Chains A and B, each alone.
Chain A
Amino acid sequence: MDVDIRKRELVKEFSPMLLKSTKWSKIWIGILVGFILWGLAAFVIQVIKGHEVTGMRDNVVWGIYIINFIFFVCLSYSGAFISGILHFFKTPWKNSVSRIVEIITVVSLIIGPIFILLCIGRLDRLHYLFLYPRIQSPITWDIIAIITDLIGCFIYLYLTFIPDFAILRDNSEDVPKWRRKLYTFLAIGYRDTPTQRNRLHKITRIMSAMIIALAIVAYTVLAWIFSLTLQPGWNSTIFAPYFIVAGLYSGVGVIIIAMYLIRKYFKLDHYIRKVHFIGAGVILLVISLLFGYFTFSEYFSRWFSHKTHDANLLNTLFNRYFWEFIFANYIGVLVPIVILFFKKFRTIKSITFAAIIAVLGLWLNRYLIVVPTLETPYLPIQDTRPEFIHYSATWVEWALSFAGIAAFVLFFILIMRLVPIIPMSGIIDYEREGKGGTNSVTQHQLK
């Protein structure tokens, strides 16, 4: 196999994805930018008028911002976890999904922490967290963990991108000058020599193992922000593993949705095949069973012990939040299980549908962890105005939430314009190891 010719072929195959902009892609980017601008306007209003413009009050001090924060950060950790597993164990079909997972990991870790900043009433005092940290506080741990994790994920993502930057640098004749300069800069002189390759493989492997551990540590600390308090619904010994399982559940769900959209939009049926959806679907099935077990265990022990405040919380969940509770903990778990359990239901569309249900269910599950607990405090709520007793998100909060989702999708698209969504270096490595023929390698490796 002539590696140089193969690299050129791959660049030629993937160049349209990087360079061509269709009318629809422009419209789509325009819509996303519109959402982000709408969010920015809401942010300006929130900064000027304060948290009064949100649904957050004295009792319910956390709303959908913190839920989005947990959701995105858990997406990132699960992405890091899955990506680490794919690389560390050299999973045969990793080439089709690894880059999607890596991009999800980094982009969600950029978007997630922005939401925690929106929860802060006095942003002008943000630097106090760094000037006067209390090492005993889970918040300080969380800041350290998130910053470390963010840097770790960036380095990891960069390491996996280097060989592709080098291929693009050497084989992109028709690209603009700035783009080639960028590829040259980012490829840091990588020539794919055996020494460089071994060196890069070694550090990528170590990094992949480390980010698995980092994801577990960071997500555990995030769970402790809740479980180390004595609040009913939060003070639980299984919260850390529960969060990790929930994170994996939503992570795999988002990966399946991304796989579906990328496959459809970029017509990558050749690379992202049904077998990958079935593989991801089986993983989602196993995690949904685990998640269901943890959820049952969590609520059952609360119900059985029947402590006054736990009973009040369950009463709130089964009355005011009845349908949300049913969707999050029954439909969100059982529907994916039913779809994924039976072989005849495992089509690409049905697996994607199961993933959408799982992701929506998990977002609601997060909502039910945060809001009802704050609505049932230990001391009776003194201010009896409805907005003090019950939380409901305002347009400002929704605008910023949708802006976050839009930013997530936009960043994802922009990174896909920089490097191919299927790692070319992975395909070359696979062919070099002799696991497939020159022309049909990608088909073989995906089987």
Chain B
Amino acid sequence: MRTSFFTYSLSIVLLSLFLVSNTFAQEQDLSDYRMRFRFKSIKQPDQSRILEASFIAANKKDRKDRVPVYGADITFLNVLGEEQVSLGSSKTSKEGIAQITLPENQSYLMDPEGRINFRAVFKGTEELDGEEKEISIKDIHLDLGLIEKDSVRTVQINAHTIDSLGLQIPVVETDIIISVGGMLSKMVIEEGSIEDGTYEFEMPTDLPGDANGDIKVYAIIEDHDDYGDVVQKNMANWGVSKKSGQESENTLWSEAAPIWMYVVLTILLVGIWANFVYTGIHLFKIKKEGKELELKTEN
């Protein structure tokens, strides 16, 4: 009796703890989190520009615990001194990211050095404080040429900025990454630095392309203090075709069956049918002997 009561009580306690532990796990205190508000600009191959703000709450004690802020209204501004122009606004996604895309022909307020100042603003709510971040970049023009110099496949990059007077100023000492596009991600094939507005390198000749042998080449400047993120891409028929000769050897659905199939089936069937014939011959012999016996009996 005592034992069963003890077992019963222990079961209830364990069950309660199991249920209650879930309740504890649900509780979250905002003071345990630090808000991370980041802002960047990405210039795209078609010369349009993405302004992207990310808004994440990171746990102060557990760095793996990161909660994206969803639905926060972010306003993007172009600022010059006291003057500011609204470029648009966007709400953060489930990943905590708000984006707007500015077209190629967008006009910006620029300082005399040709710098454009962008500002991302979150006004705040009752629970969350307001956030603001500003970046200052120069508009860079990145050209990616895929040319053959003396039959050598060459990647040629030219980069310049334009000052307030409209003069082209070559870009210097800027790290650049060259990648080729793959099915899932880009593969880095070269890392270098743009000097005096240009950078060149010899393209490897053993890269596989798509079904037509085309390769997409990307030139990327990442998180630069002056230019932000810049991406340029180009395509050339420089890939080694991925078509393999094995496709035509897919024998099951080819027009003619493979030889081994004929051989195996023939051996099987001939063996079986030969046995049928062998049985038939013996049945015939049985019948013949039966007839002979019948004749003997009659005589």
Chain A complexes with chain B: yes
Chain A residues with CB under 8 Å of chain B are: 134-136, 141, 144, 148, 151-152, 155, 159, 162, 187-191, 193, 195-196, 199-200, 202-203, 206-207, 210, 214, 217
B157 to chain A, nearest CB (A): 42
Q: A196-B286, A207-B279 are in contact. Are A189 and B257 (CB under 8 A)?
A: no
Choice from B253, B272, B278, B293 contacting A203 with Cβ under 8 Å: B278
- CB contacts (< 8 Å) of A187 on chain B: these are 290
Q: Which residue of chain A has the shortest Cβ distance to B297 in the bound complex?
A: A191
Q: Which residue of chain B has the shortest Cβ distance to A207 in the bound complex?
A: B279
Say yes or no for B289: interface residue by CB 8 A criterion. yes
Query: When the two chains form their complex, are residues A188 and B269 in contact, meaning their CB atoms are under 8 A apart?
Result: no
Q: Which residue of chain B has the shortest Cβ distance to A200 in the bound complex?
A: B286
- CB contacts (< 8 Å) of B261 on chain A: these are 135-136
Choice from B253, B285, B293 contacting A199 with Cβ under 8 Å: B285
Say yes or no for B20: interface residue by CB 8 A criterion. no
Query: When the two chains form their complex, are residues B294 and A189 in contact, meaning their CB atoms are under 8 A apart?
Result: yes
Query: When the two chains form their complex, are residues A189 and B293 in contact, meaning their CB atoms are under 8 A apart?
Result: yes
Say yes or no for B36: interface residue by CB 8 A criterion. no
Query: When the two chains form their complex, are residues A217 and B268 in contact, meaning their CB atoms are under 8 A apart?
Result: yes
Q: A136-B253, A191-B293 are in contact. Are A152 and B286 (CB under 8 A)?
A: no
How many angstroms from the CA of A8 to the CA of B55 in the assembled complex?
Answer: 101
Choice from B276, B282, B285, B286 contacting A151 with Cβ under 8 Å: B276
A interface: dominant SS: helix
Q: Which residue of chain B has the shortest Cβ distance to A217 in the bound complex?
A: B268
Q: A188-B286, A189-B289, A196-B289 are in contact. Are A159 and B279 (CB under 8 A)?
A: yes
- CB contacts (< 8 Å) of B291 on chain A: these are 189
B interface: dominant SS: helix
- CB contacts (< 8 Å) of B265 on chain A: these are 135, 141, 144
Say yes or no for B7: interface residue by CB 8 A criterion. no
- CB contacts (< 8 Å) of A193 on chain B: these are 289, 293
Residue with the highest number of chain B CB atoms closer than 10 Å, among A162, A189, A195: A189
How many angstroms from the CA of A206 to the CA of B272 in the assembled complex?
Answer: 11
Query: When the two chains form their complex, are residues B273 and A148 in contact, meaning their CB atoms are under 8 A apart?
Result: yes
Query: When the two chains form their complex, are residues B252 and A203 in contact, meaning their CB atoms are under 8 A apart?
Result: no
Query: When the two chains form their complex, are residues B253 and A202 in contact, meaning their CB atoms are under 8 A apart?
Result: no
Say yes or no for B251: interface residue by CB 8 A criterion. yes
Say yes or no for B262: interface residue by CB 8 A criterion. yes
Q: Which residue of chain A has the shortest Cβ distance to B252 in the bound complex?
A: A136
Query: When the two chains form their complex, are residues B290 and A188 in contact, meaning their CB atoms are under 8 A apart?
Result: yes
- CB contacts (< 8 Å) of B289 on chain A: these are 189, 191, 193, 195-196
Q: Which residue of chain B has the shortest Cβ distance to A209 in the bound complex?
A: B275
Query: When the two chains form their complex, are residues A203 and B279 in contact, meaning their CB atoms are under 8 A apart?
Result: yes
- CB contacts (< 8 Å) of A148 on chain B: these are 269, 272-273
How many angstroms from the CA of A206 to the CA of B288 in the assembled complex?
Answer: 21
Query: When the two chains form their complex, are residues B282 and A135 in contact, meaning their CB atoms are under 8 A apart?
Result: no
Q: Which residue of chain B has the shortest Cβ distance to A204 in the bound complex?
A: B279
Choice from A134, A152, A188 contacting B283 with Cβ under 8 Å: A188
- CB contacts (< 8 Å) of A141 on chain B: these are 265
How many angstroms from the CA of A188 to the CA of B284 in the assembled complex?
Answer: 8
Query: When the two chains form their complex, are residues B269 and A207 in contact, meaning their CB atoms are under 8 A apart?
Result: no
Choice from A135, A136, A196, A206 contacting B290 with Cβ under 8 Å: A196
Query: When the two chains form their complex, are residues A135 and B279 in contact, meaning their CB atoms are under 8 A apart?
Result: no
B135 to chain A, nearest CB (A): 42
B101 to chain A, nearest CB (A): 32
Query: When the two chains form their complex, are residues A191 and B257 in contact, meaning their CB atoms are under 8 A apart?
Result: no
How many angstroms from the CA of A190 to the CA of B287 in the assembled complex?
Answer: 7
| 20 pairs of residues in contact across A and B, judged by CB atoms under 8 Å | A134-B257, A136-B251, A136-B253, A136-B254, A144-B269, A152-B276, A188-B286, A189-B286, A189-B288, A189-B289, A189-B290, A189-B293, A191-B289, A193-B289, A196-B290, A200-B282, A203-B278, A203-B282, A206-B275, A206-B278
How many angstroms from the CA of A193 to the CA of B261 in the assembled complex?
Answer: 44
How many angstroms from the CA of A206 to the CA of B291 in the assembled complex?
Answer: 25
B 9-47 contacts with A by CB, 8 A: none
B205 to chain A, nearest CB (A): 37
Q: Which residue of chain B has the shortest Cβ distance to A213 in the bound complex?
A: B272
- CB contacts (< 8 Å) of B275 on chain A: these are 206-207, 210
Q: Which residue of chain B has the shortest Cβ distance to A214 in the bound complex?
A: B272
How many angstroms from the CA of A148 to the CA of B276 in the assembled complex?
Answer: 10
Query: When the two chains form their complex, are residues A135 and B286 in contact, meaning their CB atoms are under 8 A apart?
Result: no
B268 to chain A, nearest CB (A): 7
Query: When the two chains form their complex, are residues A135 and B272 in contact, meaning their CB atoms are under 8 A apart?
Result: no
Over the window 234-273 of chain B, the binary record of Cβ atoms lying under 8 Å from chain A Cβ atoms (1 yes, 0 no) is 0000000000000000011110010001100100110011
How many angstroms from the CA of A145 to the CA of B257 in the assembled complex?
Answer: 18
How many angstroms from the CA of A189 to the CA of B254 in the assembled complex?
Answer: 52
A351 to chain B, nearest CB (A): 36
A50 to chain B, nearest CB (A): 29
Query: When the two chains form their complex, are residues B293 and A135 in contact, meaning their CB atoms are under 8 A apart?
Result: no
Query: When the two chains form their complex, are residues A136 and B293 in contact, meaning their CB atoms are under 8 A apart?
Result: no
Q: Which residue of chain B has the shortest Cβ distance to A210 in the bound complex?
A: B275
How many angstroms from the CA of A151 to the CA of B293 in the assembled complex?
Answer: 30
A163 to chain B, nearest CB (A): 11
- CB contacts (< 8 Å) of A135 on chain B: these are 257, 261-262, 265
Query: When the two chains form their complex, are residues A189 and B276 in contact, meaning their CB atoms are under 8 A apart?
Result: no
Q: Which residue of chain B has the shortest Cβ distance to A159 in the bound complex?
A: B279
Instruction: State the 10 A-B residue pairs at the shortest beta-carbon distance, nearest first.
Output: A189-B290, A135-B257, A188-B287, A203-B282, A189-B287, A136-B257, A203-B279, A196-B286, A191-B293, A136-B252
- CB contacts (< 8 Å) of A191 on chain B: these are 289-290, 293
Choice from A136, A199, A210, A214 contacting B282 with Cβ under 8 Å: A199
- CB contacts (< 8 Å) of B278 on chain A: these are 203, 206
How many angstroms from the CA of A199 to the CA of B287 in the assembled complex?
Answer: 11
How many angstroms from the CA of A46 to the CA of B253 in the assembled complex?
Answer: 33
Q: Which residue of chain A has the shortest Cβ distance to B258 in the bound complex?
A: A136
How many angstroms from the CA of A202 to the CA of B286 in the assembled complex?
Answer: 12
- CB contacts (< 8 Å) of B288 on chain A: these are 189
B267 to chain A, nearest CB (A): 12
B190 to chain A, nearest CB (A): 38
- CB contacts (< 8 Å) of B251 on chain A: these are 136
15 new A-B contacts, CB < 8 A, other than A152-B272, A162-B286, are: A135-B265, A136-B252, A148-B272, A188-B286, A188-B290, A189-B287, A190-B290, A193-B289, A193-B293, A196-B289, A200-B282, A203-B279, A206-B275, A206-B278, A210-B275
Q: Which residue of chain A has the shortest Cβ distance to B294 in the bound complex?
A: A189
How many angstroms from the CA of A188 to the CA of B268 in the assembled complex?
Answer: 29
Query: When the two chains form their complex, are residues A199 and B276 in contact, meaning their CB atoms are under 8 A apart?
Result: no
How many angstroms from the CA of A202 to the CA of B257 in the assembled complex?
Answer: 37
B295 to chain A, nearest CB (A): 11
A119 to chain B, nearest CB (A): 22
B 201-254 contacts with A by CB, 8 A: 251-254
B286 to chain A, nearest CB (A): 5
- CB contacts (< 8 Å) of A152 on chain B: these are 272, 276
